[in-house]
Structure 1
Amino acid sequence: MLIAVFLPLLFAIFIPLLSRLKDKIHTGWFVLLVPLSVFIYLISKVGSGFSPIKESYPWIPSLHINFSFYIDGLGLLFGLLISGIGTLVVLYSVYYLHKTEQLAHFYVYLLMFMAAMFGVVFSDNIYVLYTFWELTSLSSFLLIGYWNHRKGSRYGALKSMLITVFGGLSLLGGLILLNIAADTTSIQTMMEQKDVIFNSPYFGWILGFVFLGAFTKSAQFPFHIWLPDAMEAPTPVSAYLHSATMVKAGIFLIARFLPIFAQSEWFFIIVSSFGIATLCWGSFMAVRQTDLKGILAYSTISQLGMIMAMLGFGTSTAIFAAVFHILNHATFKGSLFMVAGIVDHETGTRDIRKLGGLMTLMPITATLALFGTFSMAGVPLPFLNGFYSKELFFDASVHLAEEVSYASLLSTIFPYLAVLGSIFTFVYSMYLFFGTFRGKYQEEELPKKAHEAPFGMLISPIILVLGVIIIGLFPHFVNEPLLGHVYEAINEKETDKHIKFWHGWKPPLFMSLAVVAIGTLLTMTRTRWNRIYSVFPGTLSFNRVYDWLVDKAESFSSALTKTYMTGSIKHYVQYVLSAIIIVTFAVLFLTEGISLQGTATASITIPELLVVGMMIFAAIATIFTNNRIAAILILGVVGYGLSILFVLYRAPDLALTQLIIETVTVALFLLAFMHLPKLEKRQESFGTKLLNGTIAIAFGAMMTLVGISSYNSKWFEPISDYFLETSKSLGGGKNVVNVILVDMRGLDTLFEIAVLGIAALGIYGMIKLRRGKKEAE
């Protein structure tokens, strides 16, 4: 598993080298081997005899953070989607992206994202999961903004990152509280402590924080606004991130923690309500779009809402339907994104108002779109996998009131909302297909003459559509070997669900027929009723709220920055020193770290007092001097005085080091400051002088307290005892100081000598340059 997670990252290192061969062979052919090899490994695990796989590798054991990986049925399903769809996307990109593109950048970003997704779905450690979670946001930001010369790409990339990273930080808070409540960082161990977590005082906060993380990542209402703008990414990115992987990370998170959260009725209320709202809003808004990828973006939002609602229902039928639809959605939505990319690639536009009549010119693409859209619409045909999971969704919503004892009002209205959302799903599916491939061919509106795509570009969507058909005709092929294990991982018990086309004349069938009938009527009359969008939502938009918030945040940040970024070094020093003083004193007082009762301090005699007095006099004198060079020389007295103190207290090594450093520092200051204009003292107000004096005294007092307290605080055995005991046995010398410098801290001493050598060479070089300049004059 470790290889599966980190193989994409390791391979990404070689992409810049391999991309140099792109004129001879497309870089994508090399990249194709990575997801394909992982897919072959994972597909070999599929079967009725599958059992979870566990691996762990130490990382930060002291914090209980290790690379712990766990593949159960849920992880296996997502791993297959990430690697399988990833393989097809890379193959598709070989024909979609021209060799003149920055292929090295694209494939490095793609492999980074792939590794991040593997890490999310395979991690058992919550902090490792979070690390990979944020890496998905970063890599998706790079992928969405791949065409960074486009304003829309930059806007969409920033928008997606701001919203998903906000959710990610919220998720981190929830994971930290989970760690505190369960006293473990292992997700599987948390599953064994469900009751402890449920009864924890942090449980409500955990729900809220984790839900925010999941909803933002999976584009749930009202956080869905980033997904349509992310369509500015190249189509392979849209097909990968926004149909099968990244947007399902939130779905995965809810499914992973469902055994813990489902004990609370708030889980049902919140998750199912947001899911149904997202289904209805996404499907309603999809019909309004005119860009093919815009339609697919809102359709993705609606489908994710449906899956989230099913997980929120929490019943056995709903959970199984959600699991099944995760797989089905990846097949038909991935193929449709690729079809949209083909249409754009071969006609030069994605504007559905300019398209139409492409069925005769692009028959293979039209056929693929037919299966994809009709499956997405849930048309009751036995060779369309989308109908099966949609039927199970209806069945779960109908029986919800019988199985859920609380929130009876929601349980009653959910079936009606499910039908409403599905009606608009049918409408946008038909709108997408018939608006693009039927009707009048508008050749004069197209930038390019339409023609069928090259076969290489068709391979990936063909494979996905074959998946739609095969799963539809033979659903038992994926039920027991795969879906059963996924269901067991979420619901913690074996499934007794059997997928079949005909369930009899029952409410789910009537609901499907109502969707088809009403949806057909609305599709045929769409031009008459679509004026409703000018009224609702009209000019109302969550995008405007987002833009307003970002604009206000930038204005406030700019105004705040101008208050302290004055260009004055004096102000910056004041801010830095004030912050250090406040934080240090606060920590000292809160932790009771001030200790002034010293016992083994050296005695103070007249020579030490005279040296200290000289240093104080020199430090004060620098304030009143009007010459920079004089100020530097006087300040040097303080440093040399410290060297004398080291000598008096029998620390010759420190004295020698201090003398060298002080000499080098004074020389460098003199060389630099002699080129500056004459020092002019400013007339400062009494308040400014008082502030400067306060900061100076407070900083001095702070350093004094820290020094004395650190000397008096004996939290650990002094390391000097170790040096005294082992200097002869380990270092072979009686002079402890020499042994420490040469053996025990040899590298430290080496680097100190190197620094001094570099400084000496720098001074020598500056003197030579100065002398050469004078000779030239």
Structure 2
Amino acid sequence: MITKWAILLPFFMAILIPIFHTRIRKFHLGWVALAVPFILFIALLRFLPQIASGDTISHSWRWIPSYNLTFTTYLDGLSMLFALLITGIGALVILYSIFYLSKKEALHKFYCYLLLFMTAMLGVVFSDHLIMLYFFWELTSIASFLLIAFWHHRKASRRGAQKSMLITVTGGIIMLMGFLILAHEMDSYSIRTIISTISIENLNRSLYLAMLFVLLGAFTKSAQFPFHIWLPDAMEAPTPVSAYLHSATMVKAGIYIVARFTPIFAYNLSWFWIVSIVGLITLFWGSFNAVKQNDLKALLAFSTVSQLGLIMSLLGMGSVVYATTGEITDVIYTQATFAALFHLVNHSTFKGALFMMVGILDHEVGTRDLRRLGGLITIMPITFSIALIGGFSMAGLPLFNGFLSKEMFFEATLAIQEMNVHSWIVLFPVIAWVASVFTFVYCFILVFKTFFGSADKLPTDRKIHEAPIGMLISPIILAVSIIFIFFFPNILGKFVIGSAMQSVYPTVQPFEQMTPTIAAWHGFNTALFMTIGVIVFGIILYLAWPKWKRLYNRLPEKWTLNYLYNQLLEEAEIVGKFVTDLYMTGSVRHYLMYIYVFFILIVGGYFIQSHIFAIDLEDQAPVEWFEILLMIVMAGAAIFLLFAKSRLTAVVSNGVLGLGVAMLFVVFRAPDLALTQLVVESVTTVLFLLSFAYLPEWSKEQKPKATKSMNLLISLAAGALVMAISFTVLNYSEFKTISGFFENAYELAGGANIVNTILGDFRAFDTMLEVVVLLIAGLGVYTLIKFRARKGQKKYED
């Protein structure tokens, strides 16, 4: 039941906070929100020994039994690892936000969005059903959109939110296609069931396609090249959001998908190549671009891209065990996955601390621009200590946890060469080493350019001082965790990462040999020499940074991915406007013509091609003389309406036609429909008459003969098609009629009147959607009225 409440608790709190926030005025609203991740983190820790021993916890809710749609949550080692990060880092981020955000902000919205985000992430890592996983996957995109656009009066915030939404949602839709193909081929929507039944023998082209679709979805969410361009623009969000999004949520969702689906798709060697190569390219490109950034949050954004590429490449290299023999001799490759999961935790600690550090600088100094920073080591010594620990950990230096996982990364790239599957694989350690050099450089820029040097460049419009203790608690906890993990890494390896490894490699035995002992010293080996080389060349490049940083300006802007994205948006708007102008002409005649022509071509064409038309009037009931008379009156009224020379004549003709329809209902024993028709006809006639005074003078349209002929042809074709379909239905016996089902209306729905029951019960879902459409329209109108621009109100940026 822990998985059930882990999803429901933040969801219910997200609903309650906006409702009751006005009653909470004595203290910061964040204290209420803080209770949720704190309680969940403690609750999850209670189950940690059970999960570490290899047990799993599952819970199922039968949602739509008729469609076999069951919401099943599943807690194993992998989901436990991510859940602890989501709740643990979430608690620290909320604690930090209490002191970062002013009470003047719309805190009820902020914490509603944040808890909704937490709900979505926990739903992703706990879901066993593919469709439910996709539901929460897209919910993360929506929640992140709301959080990134929290300061929606800023143009950059709105554009960043739009960019992240477009890229991640597009990837999510593609991933859904992969899920559907996978479920169809494996005849199950359960991830556990698919993992237990998949093998190299039942791989086919459809599953290869599903693999590509799933990877595209994961790559867009985890900001892999070339989809990483949304992540730097997401920096317009408040710093607590950036810290949460980068360290424990959003971007880690793609990592989770790759890890979770490794036992399904990794039997195909293409999984290894795609994941590894994309990860290494992302690692290099992110570290290369981070060096040139002047905004500290932008630097950290590209560093996140780089670190995510590192983790992704390790997952790819570790997956090769499935593509080979899957025996214990290949366990050396699984240690790459161990390094990926270990670095996942390390990255969460140092990246969360660094983002909070940058938020402190922005809050106290008033700028994040490196060109206006310097000399802060004596003014903000605690903040400097946090930056030093976090930055050196990200650089992979000793005494910090990042050093341990970075050494394991180097060892994995060296070990993977033993595969000898292709000569290009020798580039893996080369790319890893070059990217690590750039990582070292931007970490040193982050620490030394900010806190050393002259303080003359600092803003003078405020008194700069150390942050309040409340804002320092969360990053200090993370900084202490960085050092603690370095000295006691095997506690994490044994109780958290080891069980997560068992989830990624459920078929590899014996399991104990896949969990290596983490040690800071392995002797003088190649990995250590690579680290020494990173430090030496990194220091040289850092010292020479002012001389070679101008190389970044040599890349034309038209060659950048951001330029391509902006051009695609502009072209999409141009094409969309062109296509829309073709059919949105403002003419009711055109709109009706489109509808009827589509109906004639599609429906009529299918009926003719299938030879379905079968008209037989021999066995039909005779038509009475009064029915013929009624039809003549209705037809005459309709024709007379077309040639009316005044509005009053047209209204009267329309009324005769409507009353004729009501009489027809009476003849066919449908008095309720007849009464409804009479009411509608009376109301519309009164409305027509009331609006007479406001209508322009009547003028008959002068239309070309070709237009009139086209109107006549379309009208006759549509009428003839409807008549032919009606007669065909009377004699069509290919399928069993559905009327027999509705005859049991009293037993099925408790209604004696079949027509009313169909409208009120059998069509209840359709009716509900109609009401929802009206509700959404009403809310839209209310919102436009409620939030209309007022004098003195904060304006949107253009």
- TM-score scaled to structure 2, two decimals? 0.88
Displacement of 1:267: 1.0
Structure 2 Cα separation of the partners of residues 749 and 428 of structure 1: 61
Structure 2 Cα separation of the partners of residues 118 and 730 of structure 1: 39
Contact 1:181 1:200 in 2 (8 A): no
- Alignment correspondent of 2:72: 68
Contact 1:22 1:99 in 2 (8 A): no
Aligned partner letter, 2:440:
F
- CA displacement, residues 529-583 of structure 1 (integer Å, 9 cap, x when unaligned): 1121122466631111111111111122222222322233333333344444445
- Alignment correspondent of 1:768: none
| Residue ranges of structure 2 left out of the alignment (5+ in a row) | 320-332, 768-798
Structure 2 Cα separation of the partners of residues 270 and 725 of structure 1: 56
- Cα distance change on mapping 1:599 and 1:101 into 2, 3 Å: farther
Structure 2 residue matching 1:59: 3-state secondary structure:
strand
Structure 2 residue matching 1:242: 3-state secondary structure:
helix
Aligned partner letter, 2:701:
R
Contact 1:332 1:465 in 2 (8 A): yes
Asked if 1:92 corresponds to 2:96, the answer is yes
- Alignment correspondent of 1:457: 471
- Alignment correspondent of 1:228: 232
Q: How does 1:109-124 map to 2 (within 5 A)?
A: 109-124=113-128
Q: How does 1:563-582 map to 2 (within 5 A)?
A: 563-582=582-601
Residue of 432, 435, 442 corresponding to 2:449? 435
Contact 1:361 1:450 in 2 (8 A): yes
Contact 2:373 2:458 in 1 (8 A): no
Structure 1 Cα separation of the partners of residues 36 and 136 of structure 2: 18
- Alignment correspondent of 1:625: 644
- Cα distance change on mapping 1:83 and 1:598 into 2, 3 Å: farther
Displacement of 1:366: 0.6
Asked if 1:320 corresponds to 2:324, the answer is no
Asked if 1:421 corresponds to 2:435, the answer is yes
Contact 1:627 1:678 in 2 (8 A): no
- Alignment correspondent of 1:387: 403
Aligned partner letter, 1:220:
Q
Deviates more, 1:200-209 or 1:229-238: 200-209
Displacement of 1:498: 1.2
Structure 2 Cα separation of the partners of residues 57 and 277 of structure 1: 42
Displacement of 1:353: 1.2
- CA displacement, residues 353-405 of structure 1 (integer Å, 9 cap, x when unaligned): 111111111111111111101110001x2x31111111111111001121x35
Asked if 1:474 corresponds to 2:488, the answer is yes
- Alignment correspondent of 2:716: 697
Aligned partner letter, 1:616:
A
Structure 2 residue matching 1:79: 3-state secondary structure:
helix
Structure 2 Cα separation of the partners of residues 339 and 654 of structure 1: 70
Asked if 1:400 corresponds to 2:419, the answer is no
- Cα distance change on mapping 1:499 and 1:692 into 2, 3 Å: same
Residue of 10, 13, 18 corresponding to 2:12? 10
Aligned partner letter, 2:389:
F
- Alignment correspondent of 1:185: 189
Residue of 454, 478, 490 corresponding to 2:504? 490
Contact 1:286 1:295 in 2 (8 A): yes
Displacement of 1:229: 0.8
Aligned partner letter, 1:557:
G
Displacement of 1:441: 1.3
- CA displacement, residues 633-691 of structure 1 (integer Å, 9 cap, x when unaligned): 22333333334434444555544544444344433333334642332111111232233
Displacement of 1:189: 1.0
Deviates more, 1:58-67 or 1:351-360: 58-67
- CA displacement, residues 183-216 of structure 1 (integer Å, 9 cap, x when unaligned): 1111111112323795233123212211111111
Structure 2 Cα separation of the partners of residues 649 and 197 of structure 1: 63
- Cα distance change on mapping 1:77 and 1:575 into 2, 3 Å: same
Aligned partner letter, 1:11:
M
Structure 1 Cα separation of the partners of residues 572 and 758 of structure 2: 52
Aligned partner letter, 1:2:
K
Displacement of 1:628: 1.8
Structure 2 residue matching 1:148: 3-state secondary structure:
coil
Identity of aligned residues (%): 46
Aligned partner letter, 1:349:
T
Asked if 1:158 corresponds to 2:177, the answer is no
Structure 2 residue matching 1:288: 3-state secondary structure:
coil
- Cα distance change on mapping 1:363 and 1:596 into 2, 3 Å: farther
Displacement of 1:12: 1.3
Structure 2 Cα separation of the partners of residues 20 and 679 of structure 1: 56
Q: How does 1:211-610 map to 2 (within 5 A)?
A: 211-313=215-317, 314=319, 315-379=333-397, 381=398, 383-402=399-418, 404-406=419-421, 408-442=422-456, 444-492=458-506, 493=508, 494=511, 495-536=514-555, 540-585=559-604, 596=615, 601-610=620-629
- CA displacement, residues 32-65 of structure 1 (integer Å, 9 cap, x when unaligned): 0111111111111112325111111122233333
Displacement of 1:618: 1.9
Aligned partner letter, 1:32:
L
Displacement of 1:271: 1.1
- Cα distance change on mapping 1:326 and 1:576 into 2, 3 Å: same
Structure 1 Cα separation of the partners of residues 610 and 380 of structure 2: 74
Contact 1:65 1:128 in 2 (8 A): no
Displacement of 1:608: 2.4
Structure 2 Cα separation of the partners of residues 80 and 668 of structure 1: 63
- Alignment correspondent of 1:756: none
- Cα distance change on mapping 1:260 and 1:445 into 2, 3 Å: same
Structure 2 Cα separation of the partners of residues 364 and 645 of structure 1: 86
Structure 2 Cα separation of the partners of residues 409 and 215 of structure 1: 26
- Alignment correspondent of 2:785: none
| Aligned residue pairs, count | 741
Deviates more, 1:497-506 or 1:675-684: 675-684
Structure 2 Cα separation of the partners of residues 749 and 416 of structure 1: 64
Structure 1 residue matching 2:63: 3-state secondary structure:
strand
Contact 1:182 1:196 in 2 (8 A): no
Aligned partner letter, 1:530:
K
Displacement of 1:710: 4.5
Structure 1 residue matching 2:521: 3-state secondary structure:
coil
- Alignment correspondent of 1:199: 203
Deviates more, 1:587-596 or 1:135-144: 587-596
Structure 2 residue matching 1:353: 3-state secondary structure:
helix
Displacement of 1:168: 1.1
Structure 2 residue matching 1:54: 3-state secondary structure:
strand
- Cα distance change on mapping 1:725 and 1:640 into 2, 3 Å: closer
RMSD over aligned Cα atoms? 2.8
- CA displacement, residues 687-741 of structure 1 (integer Å, 9 cap, x when unaligned): 32233223322332343344444555564565568758969x998xxxxx97658
Structure 1 residue matching 2:703: 3-state secondary structure:
coil
| Residue ranges of structure 1 left out of the alignment (5+ in a row) | 732-736, 753-777
Residue of 679, 691, 694 corresponding to 1:672? 691
- TM-score scaled to structure 1, two decimals? 0.90
Deviates more, 1:433-442 or 1:281-290: 433-442
Contact 1:628 1:678 in 2 (8 A): no
Deviates more, 1:128-137 or 1:676-685: 676-685
Aligned partner letter, 1:37:
I
Structure 1 Cα separation of the partners of residues 741 and 560 of structure 2: 70
Deviates more, 1:634-643 or 1:327-336: 634-643
Structure 2 residue matching 1:32: 3-state secondary structure:
helix
Displacement of 1:17: 3.8
Structure 2 Cα separation of the partners of residues 36 and 587 of structure 1: 61
Asked if 1:30 corresponds to 2:48, the answer is no
Displacement of 1:69: 0.8
- Cα distance change on mapping 1:704 and 1:405 into 2, 3 Å: farther
Contact 2:371 2:457 in 1 (8 A): no
Contact 1:443 1:449 in 2 (8 A): no
Contact 2:37 2:90 in 1 (8 A): yes
